[in-house]
A and B are shown apart, each in its own frame.
Chain A
Amino acid sequence: MANILLTTRCNRSCPYCFAEREMAGSDVDSLMSWENLIYIADFLLMSGQRRVSLLGGEPTIHPECVDYILYLLERGFDVTVFTNGMLGKSRREEFRRHLTGISRERLTFVCNLNDPLQTPAPHTERERIEEFLSLMGPWVSPGFNIYRPDFTLDFLFDAINRFGLKRHLRLGITHPIPGKGNGFIRPAEMRQVVERLYSYREIFEATRVSPGLDCGFPMCKFTDEELGWLNRFRGSPHFRCGAAVDITPDMSVYHCFPLSDYQRRSLFEFDSLLEIEEHFRQLRQQIRVEIAGIFEECDGCRQREDDVCSGGGVCQLLNRFVDEAPVRIPEIEHEIAKNRHPL
């Protein structure tokens, strides 16, 4: 899978934002161009890809966001747009005119929703999001970023019912941006997160909403009963690190937001998505030679050997290196050193 970043700007500032590093380091006016988009579409098609995600910053800020979506659909891609839902009136009107006729199988929005109590937002922001959900609800899967262990999900079930959203809730845990000291879920908090999630089991079942786990969840923090519960939903859950490749407006490719400084390359250096994936697989492998996973038990863990669980996120491991012993791989050590806190 590939994520195309249409812009590095965002119109919201979530406390847990992983894209922070990419946005901070970028030219504020960095926008994906038509030339680059066509190149990427050709590149992905020739790599056998038929699905693509649009990200940002906030992708709907891009002035030609609607045209880009339509273009990718015309090229035969199924498109997922990751949005915060904060669209202005005119952009909403564009969506209504041009996107509401598209099949929900081919176009999906993952709308990242924040808990109105734990992450309060100004009234105007909430209003905009609600208007977006009222318009595009049937195309929207709600997304939620868990950034504190005492999170609540009730408001999401309300939103699903109220706006007729897709009955699939995408759950991500917030990851560390190595060296940035941002808020994230620490390995020691994972069990609490899982327990909290499982406490919503009955509501998931009653509302027929399926949970979907993003990257970085550790498998061993789920009991057999909890795993059995997850398994009942669409296919088995995965406990991986290494979801998709991100492509920026300036045609850089990197592993994911938290690792945007690590072995970042230009898309033009590669002939296929497979080559890029291999490049980043090697990056993960190099790091995991140093440390197998987020827990000591990861070293020699059967689930890791069987490739069922990655041993948590590489971002967590790199974040540890920032403050702990240096790694031996010069290129990675170089990037880490830049982020190391002065003693």
Chain B
Amino acid sequence: MKLPKIVIPYNKTLLRSMSGQIVAVRVKSIPQAAEAAAHVRDSGNALFCVIVEANSPLAELALHDGIKDIPLAIMAPAMGKFRRVTAILPVLRGGNIRIYLPCDRPDNITSLRLLSSLGIHCCALFAPGETNWEELADLMTYAVLERAPHAPIEPFEFIASSYEPSSYLDWGRIFFDDPRHFLHLDARGRVALSRREASMGDFIAAGIAEIAAADEFPAISERINSWRYRLAENHPCAFCAGWKICLGRFAPEAGEDGGCAGFFQEMLDVARQRGAQRAGGEELRVWQP
């Protein structure tokens, strides 16, 4: 297995200490994004993308033509007023940009649909305990089956287009949350398996140099295979129809119905329908309006 891509906070010293890596760099604002992208490229590392973890709504971000060539993953708490989004629509449509919105608020689920309908690639962030699965299911059905022109909404598009009936599917990479594809560093270069673990100080190595091959590194391979334990443990997930495309990501406690099972079962059905459409040679529509 190749070494995964590295997700780091924007830190010039840290960047200088690495070379030959493929790097996703985290920043707080759009002006910082352009600067960070330039520094990654100058540091002898390759830029995978800039992750903008914004505190303000998408509509308030100072997006401009100058960032068109930077691959951007913009994580905003909300979309904001549509009238203000219209001012940045040309950049959102013309750039290499994906918008992430958390689905713990119903208006964000609507905003994702709205952005997608305008040809903007976006992604739903959802977590156990705070998701309205029914509304999410509506969004997912729209994302995968709606025939009117619209841009992909992840992770649904990824799941629907990558699902193979004969294998399991892990789509954590869409959220930079899969150690096969991404490892997370803190400002001192310590390595964690996920963004959350990096912020909680839960590290697996003191530096990336300690990890020669990811699949041979015990903490990484253990994480990659951790889903298997649920099967052995007789966890409710082991009997869930949606397991193949969820792998226990939202694992409810025994006896609990978190609503996730119904959602992922529906997602599987929708993915199968999409597979059937493809097999039938049905033309997929261009999404850009």
Contacts and interface: CB of A to CB of B under 8 A. Distances in A.
Interface of A: 33-35, 38, 41-43, 45-46, 64, 66-67, 70-71, 74-76, 94, 98
B82 A75 contact: no
Nearest to A43: B148
A70 B84 CA distance: 10
A118 B19 CA distance: 82
Contacts of A38: 110, 113-114, 117
Given A41-B117, A45-B149, A64 B289 contact: no
Nearest to A69: B83
B95 to A, nearest CB: 17
A243 to B, nearest CB: 25
A45 B149 CA distance: 9
Most buried by B among A41, A66, A67: A67
Nearest to B110: A34
Contacts of A71: 82, 114, 118
Contact of B118 (A35, A43, A67, A75): A75
28 contacts: A34-B110, A34-B114, A38-B110, A38-B113, A38-B114, A38-B117, A41-B148, A42-B117, A42-B146, A42-B148, A42-B150, A43-B148, A45-B148, A45-B149, A46-B147, A46-B148, A67-B82, A67-B83, A70-B82, A70-B83, A71-B82, A71-B118, A74-B86, A74-B89, A75-B118, A75-B289, A76-B289, A94-B83
Interface string B114-136: 10011000000000000000000
Q: Which DSSP category, helix, strand, loop or mixed, fits chain A's interface?
A: helix
B81 interface: yes
Most buried by B among A43, A45, A94: A45
A247 to B, nearest CB: 16
Nearest to A76: B289
A74 B86 CA distance: 8
Nearest to A64: B82
Interface of B: 81-83, 86, 89, 110, 113-114, 117-118, 146-150, 289
Contacts of B110: 33-35, 38
B143 to A, nearest CB: 12
Contacts of B148: 41-43, 45-46
B135 to A, nearest CB: 9
A323 to B, nearest CB: 45
A297 to B, nearest CB: 46
Contacts of B147: 46
Nearest to B107: A34
B262 to A, nearest CB: 20
Contacts of A35: 110, 113
A71 B86 CA distance: 8
A42 B147 CA distance: 8
A170 B225 CA distance: 70
A199 to B, nearest CB: 45
Given A38-B110, A42-B117, A42-B146, 17 more contacts: A34-B114, A35-B110, A38-B114, A38-B117, A41-B117, A42-B150, A43-B148, A45-B148, A46-B147, A46-B148, A66-B83, A67-B81, A67-B83, A70-B82, A76-B289, A98-B83, A98-B86
Contacts of B83: 66-67, 70, 94, 98
Contacts of B113: 35, 38
Nearest to A73: B86
Nearest to A37: B114
A41 B82 CA distance: 16
A45 B82 CA distance: 20
B81 to A, nearest CB: 7
Nearest to A97: B83
A295 to B, nearest CB: 44
Nearest to B148: A42
A301 B114 CA distance: 50
Contacts of B149: 45
A66 B118 CA distance: 17
Question: 8 closest Cβ contacts across the A-B interface?
Answer: A42-B148, A67-B82, A34-B110, A46-B148, A70-B86, A98-B83, A67-B83, A38-B117
